[in-house]
Amino acid sequence: MIEKLVKTTGEWLKGEGPSSDVVVSSRIRLARNLAEQPFLLTASAGDRAEIYRSLAGETSNDVVIPDAMVVDIDEADEIDRNLLVERHLISRQHAAGEGPRGVTISPDETQAIMINEEDHLRIQSLRSGLQLELLWHEVNEIDEALANRVPFAFDEQLGYLTACPTNVGTGIRVSVMLHLPALRLTKEIERVARAARDLRLAVRGSYGEGTEAVGDLYQISNQTTLGKSEESIIETFSRTIIPKIVEYERAARETLMKQHSSQLDDKIWRSYGLLTNARMISSGETQSLLSPIRMGIHLDRFHAFDIRTLNEIFLYTQPAHLQKRLGKKLDDDERAAARADYLRERLASKPK
């Protein structure tokens, strides 16, 4: 089943949608637990197995997600688990967990439901660009379809009950992945990060909690849900917080264009030169070199390839995708060499 995914890049990497020059993707997740089962922290192995068997069937029902596929994470090998992380279909914690657990995925990868991660269910909708209202509509439909089939743990005063106290209430987690190279180059990124933290928002790397920002990709998400409605959280993100950060990044890019155009072009083309000539290159260095090129494409200063090609390169040079493509496990040096081979092959066409 995983092989089906490798043939595509997923909708969230199309490079389309509102504010897609800065907003790479947006995601909404809902945490839910079954009313008649213990939370996973206290669940026995038998409880976990029963929860997984029940929810694997319920989440893949056509009423919930049509034509969905279910991946048994416990039975998947390490490369396949990490591939799902790289595609943002499961969390790192889910991949590294133990016992019966899985994920239900829609054919276009815009919806995914993790089973037995931290909560019994993590319902997700993910798309390119800033499309939070659409995501809320999609994830809410899945939530309602499941609520009609299984009872959720709910308290009249507190709301939905979750394993982590910060998710109690609506159980919603809104995340937006932003590409902010100009704010970093103009040394304004820390000011933005501080302002976000003052608003009780989490600022993390592209793979969420516990990860650093690589390739100038930052993920901003809400930290609390209790006492707030889903609509108010989404509106704050989509109409206030994210548009303001997008505005700052665009202004910083304009400053670079006007005051440092030669240095900007040099950074873009040096990055291209390294990507097309390296014989060994790490995943982190690849992402860092792709960052100025991504900005150059959006500023109409780089035409060797388009944003969709860049996103494909971004995905297929990740460790698990690289190994899956070659059909074998590689050590660090072997991956670095194979990644460089892939980049030279993919970027062999003459720059425009």
User: What are the pLDDT digits (tens) for 126-155?
Assistant: 999 999 999 999 999 999 999 999 999 999
Residues 87 and 208 in one domain: yes
Residues 154 and 273 in one domain: no
Residues 164 and 230 in one domain: yes
Residues 298 and 162 in one domain: no
Residues 6 and 34 in one domain: yes
Last residue of a domain, one of 224, 252, 280: 252
Query: pTM for the whole thing?
Result: 0.92
If one compares 212 and 60, the residue with the highest pLDDT of the two is: 60
Whether residue 352 lies inside any domain: the answer is no
pLDDT of 210 > 60? The answer is no
Residues 37 and 160 in one domain: yes
Residues 247 and 295 in one domain: no
Q: What is the pLDDT of residues 332-344, one digit of tens each?
A: 999 999 999 999 9
Q: What is the pLDDT of residues 269-311, one digit of tens each?
A: 999 999 999 999 999 999 999 999 999 999 999 999 999 999 9
Residue pair 219/206 in contact (Cβ under 8 Å)? The answer is yes
Q: What's the whole-number mean pLDDT along residues 102-120?
A: 96
Residues 114 and 148 in one domain: yes
- DSSP state, 104? E
Residues 106 and 57 in one domain: yes
Give the pLDDT band of residue 251 (cuts 50, 70, 90): very high
pLDDT of 352 > 60? The answer is no
Alpha carbon 183 to its chain's center: 21
For tokens 């799902």, the residue is: 84
279, two tokens: 């014989």
Helix (H, G, I), strand (E, B), or coil: what is residue 102? strand
- The Cα-based distances of 349 to 231, 261, 281, 297 in angstroms read 47, 25, 20, 16
Last residue of a domain, one of 211, 233, 252: 252
Q: What's the whole-number mean pLDDT along residues 19-44?
A: 96
Find the domain containing 214 and state its range.
2-252
Candidates 124, 103, 101; CA nearest to 51 is 101
Residues 134 and 282 in one domain: no
Whether residue 39 lies inside any domain: the answer is yes
- The number of distinct structural domains making up the chain is 2
Q: What is the pLDDT of residues 61-88, one digit of tens each?
A: 999 999 999 999 999 999 999 999 999 9
Whether residue 26 lies inside any domain: the answer is yes
Residues 272 and 201 in one domain: no
Q: pLDDT value at position 214? A: 85
Q: pLDDT value at position 11? A: 87
Q: pLDDT value at position 166? A: 83
Residues 193 and 117 in one domain: yes
Whether residue 351 lies inside any domain: the answer is no
- Residues in CB range of 165: below 8 A, 6 or more apart: none
For 44, left (φ over 0), alpha (ψ -120 to 50), or beta?
beta
Q: pLDDT value at position 209? A: 57
Residue pair 281/336 in contact (Cβ under 8 Å)? The answer is yes
Last residue of a domain, one of 191, 225, 252: 252
Whether residue 24 lies inside any domain: the answer is yes
Residue pair 113/104 in contact (Cβ under 8 Å)? The answer is yes
- The Cα-based distances of 335 to 206, 279, 310, 331, 344 in angstroms read 21, 11, 19, 6, 14
For tokens 């600022």, the residue is: 203
